């Protein structure tokens, strides 16, 4: 399908908006599934809720709804290869043979060394164009003690996130000028 100029500009624009990389997993009546998503956002802490945008044509879409639960595993820099494994289905490959998994409240796979994982029940779902916005109520949070550098998708590639080195000296130089 040919994209309109507006769609092309939107995609190019969004490629310049860095976003965290998350592995969204689920287990239940429809089986165990997972995919990579950057369209994840905090909604409110009353009650603790986040949202995940899922393409309605994606294989996982209806299966996640059938399971009624999902886990948002926030990936770290050392998960870059794992992210690639989950970003594209390859027949015969059990994607869950990669990674170290546990379960918490809903039975969705929780990545043991994620920077943080939010185990959720799917609440309301809003359809907007090609995607569903799934509002997810957080039932348990997995918070490993030592998070690694973050994993970010920006300019159509992966980047590792770390704090910029202190620039105290440069700042005092700048204020002298």
Ligand X SMILES: Cc1cc2nc3c(=O)[nH]c(=O)nc-3n(C[C@H](O)[C@H](O)[C@H](O)COP(=O)(O)OP(=O)(O)OC[C@H]3O[C@@H](n4cnc5c(N)ncnc54)[C@H](O)[C@@H]3O)c2cc1C
Count of other CB atoms within 10 angstroms of residue 22:
27
- DSSP track, 33-102: EEEEE--EEEEEETTEEEEEEEETTSTHHHHHHHHTEEEEEE-BGGGHHHHHHHHS--TT--GGGSS-EE
Stretch that binds ligand X, among 41-49, 65-73, 83-91, 108-116 (CB under 6 A): 83-91
- The reply to whether 89 sits near ligand X by the rule CB under 6 A is yes
- The reply to whether 118 sits near ligand X by the rule CB under 6 A is no
Among 35, 64, 101, 118, which residue interacts with ligand X (rule: CB under 6 A)? 35
Query: Distance between CA atoms of 32 and 70, rounded to whole angstroms?
Result: 10
> By CB under 6 A, how many residues form the interface with ligand X?
16
Q: DSSP assignment, residue 140?
A: E
Stretch that binds ligand X, among 53-61, 99-107, 117-125, 141-149 (CB under 6 A): 53-61
- The reply to whether 116 sits near ligand X by the rule CB under 6 A is no
Task: Name the phi and psi angles at 62, rounded to 5.
Answer: -70, -30
Minimum CB separation from ligand X for residue 8, in Å? 18
Minimum CB separation from ligand X for residue 67, in Å? 13
Which parts of this chain interact with ligand X (CB under 6 A)? 21, 33, 35-39, 53-55, 58-59, 87-89, 153
């Amino acid at each position: 399908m040919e994209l309109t100029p507006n769609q092309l500009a939107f995609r190019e624009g969004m490629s310049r908006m860095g976003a965290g990389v998350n592995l969204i997993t689920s287990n239940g009546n429809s089986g165990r599934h997972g995919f990579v998503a950057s369209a994840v956002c905090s909604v409110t802490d009353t009650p603790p809720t986040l949202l995940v945008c899922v393409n309605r044509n994606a294989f996982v879409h209806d299966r996640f709804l059938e399971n009624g639960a999902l886990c948002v595993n926030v990936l770290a820099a050392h998960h870059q290869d794992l992210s690639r494994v989950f970003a594209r289905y390859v027949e015969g490959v059990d994607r869950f043979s990669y990674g170290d998994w546990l379960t918490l409240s809903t039975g969705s796979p929780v990545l043991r060394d994620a920077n943080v994982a939010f185990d959720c029940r799917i609440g309301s779902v809003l359809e907007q164009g090609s995607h569903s916005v799934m509002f997810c109520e957080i039932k348990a949070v997995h918070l490993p003690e030592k998070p690694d550098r973050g994993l970010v998708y920006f300019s159509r590639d992966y980047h590792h996130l770390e704090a910029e080195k202190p620039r105290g000296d440069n700042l005092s130089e700048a204020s002298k000028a």
